[in-house]
């Protein structure tokens, strides 16, 4: 799994909501799997009682060296994502996900129109001519979110202190569904928290390199019996 060290853009645009204390809180989170291994490309989203007003934003899902970059992109609903092609070959990006079906026919450079992800959900990206290329756009309604780095760490800053409801997501999460991570109390002093994601059991998903039949055994048995 490609995990370029790439800090996801913090779209923390909601600023300083309340007047009583204008002080801001921050969260340093560490995301691990059930075995305690750091998880890269995991998404943490936070929401509180009071939702800030957020302006529409844009994001970029690049294609570099025939891979989507970043591998996981988290965006707020309504974000327009552009799909520049940094390779010198063409790509044919598509998605059949329910959250967003689209298709960018063979192209080079940046298509003129970015794709607007208007419904929350997971959008799996593929390239029609490069089967190995898989990318994910996690579309959420939550105001605060971040994607973990290769060490499974992420930072959320400039948040109003208070209580938040946290959600977690990862491409290998069971059925690719977000997981509830409970309440998080943020103070001005800054919080540190460790989140654990349960992951889908590995295996079974890797495509076999060659077709396998079960006939060999039957014949072998028959031959052995005949000896």
Partner 1 sequence: MLRNSFQARIAGVLVLLLLVVVGALYVAVQTATNAAVRSQAREQLDVGSLVFQQLLEVRGRQLHDAVQVLAADFGFKDAVASGDTETIRSALINHGARINASAVMMLGLDGNLEVSSDRQISGETAKRLSAQVMQRQREGVQIFLMPIADKIYLLVQATVTAPLPIARVMMGFQVDDAFAAELRELTHLDLTLRATQDGVADIWISTLQPAQSKQLQGSMSELANDAISLIGEESYLNQTLVLASGDGFEVRALLHKSLSQAQEAFAPLDQKILLIALAALSASLVGALLLARSVSQPVRQLAAVAERVRQGDYQASLDLQRGDELGRLATAFKAMQQGIAERERQLAHNALHDALTGLPNRTLALERLGSAITAGRPTSLLYLGVANFRAVNESLGAEGGDLALQQLSRRLQVVLRPGDSVARIIGDEFLLLLENTNSDSAVGIADKVQQLLLKPLRVATHDFALDCRIGIASYPVDGNAPEELLRRASIAMQDAAGMPSHLQVYQQGRDDAQQRQIRLIRDLRHAPDKAELLLHYQPKLDIAAGQVRQAEALLRWQHPTLGMVSPGEFIPLAERTGSIQLLTAWVIEEVLRQLREWAGRGLRVQVSLNISTDDLIDPQLPARVSKLLAEYQVPAEQLIFEITESGVMLNPEVALQVLHGLRACGISLSVDDFGTGYSSLAQLKRMPVQELKIDQSFIRDLDDASEDSVIVRSTIEMSHSLGLKVVAEGVEFERSLQLLGRWQCDTAQGYLISRPLAAQAFETWMAQYVHAPSTLVH
Using the rule CB under 8 A, which residue among 36, 109, 202, 208 binds partner 1?
A: 208
Kind of pairing between the strands at 62-64 and 72-76? unpaired
CA-derived radius of gyration, the chain: 21
Please enumerate in sequence order all residues whose Cβ is within 8 A of that of 68, keeping only pairs 6 or more positions apart, or say none. Answer: 61, 62, 125, 133, 134, 135
- Smaller CB distance to partner 1: residue 47 or 130? 130
- What residues numbered 107-166 form the site for partner 1, per CB under 8 A? 124-128, 131-134
Beta bridge partners of 195: 31
The region of 11-19, 95-103, 111-119, 184-192 touching partner 1 under the rule CB under 8 A is 95-103
| φ and ψ at residue 222, rounded to 5 degrees | -60, -40
Using DSSP's 3-state secondary structure scheme, residue 40 falls into coil
216 part of the interface to partner 1, by CB under 8 A: yes
54 part of the interface to partner 1, by CB under 8 A: no
| φ and ψ at residue 151, rounded to 5 degrees | -90, 5
Q: What is the DSSP letter of 226?
A: H
The region of 25-33, 43-51, 76-84, 94-102 touching partner 1 under the rule CB under 8 A is 94-102
96 part of the interface to partner 1, by CB under 8 A: yes
| Site mask for partner 1 (CB under 8 A), range 176-205, x = bound | ----------------------------xx
**Minimum CB separation from partner 1 for residue 86, in Å?**
19
Can you give 139-152 as a three-state secondary structure string? EECCCEEEECCCCC
- Smaller CB distance to partner 1: residue 5 or 212? 212
**Minimum CB separation from partner 1 for residue 128, in Å?**
5
Q: Residues in contact with partner 1, total (CB under 8 A)?
A: 31
Tell me how far apart the alpha carbons of residues 145 and 75 are, in angstroms, rounded to a whole number.
8
- Alpha carbon 51 to its chain centroid, in Å, reads 22
- Smaller CB distance to partner 1: residue 80 or 133? 133
What residues line the site for partner 1 (CB under 8 A)? 94-96, 101, 124-128, 131-134, 204-205, 207-208, 210-216, 218-219, 221-223, 225-226
């Amino acid at each position: 799994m490609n995990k370029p060290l790439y800090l996801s853009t913090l779209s923390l645009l909601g600023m300083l909501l309340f007047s009583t204390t204008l002080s801001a809180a921050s969260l340093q989170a560490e995301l691990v799997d059930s075995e305690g291994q750091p998880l890269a490309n995991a998404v943490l989203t936070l929401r509180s009682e009071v939702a800030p007003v957020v302006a529409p934003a844009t994001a970029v899902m690049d294609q570099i060296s025939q891979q989507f970059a970043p591998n996981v992109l988290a965006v707020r609903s309504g974000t327009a994502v552009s799909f520049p092609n940094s390779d010198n070959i063409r790509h044919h990006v598509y998605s059949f996900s329910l959250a967003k079906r689209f298709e960018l026919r063979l192209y080079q450079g940046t298509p003129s129109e970015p794709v607007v992800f208007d419904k929350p959900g997971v959008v799996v990206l593929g390239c029609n001519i490069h089967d190995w290329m898989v990318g994910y756009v996690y579309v959420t309604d939550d105001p605060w979110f971040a994607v973990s780095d290769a060490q499974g760490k992420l930072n959320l800053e400039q948040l109003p202190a208070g209580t938040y409801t946290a959600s977690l997501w990862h491409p290998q999460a069971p059925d690719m569904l977000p997981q509830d991570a409970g309440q998080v109390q943020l103070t001005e002093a800054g919080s540190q928290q460790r989140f654990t994601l349960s992951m889908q059991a590995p295996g079974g998903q890797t495509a076999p390199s060659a077709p396998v039949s079960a006939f060999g055994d039957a014949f072998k048995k028959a031959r052995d019996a005949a000896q």
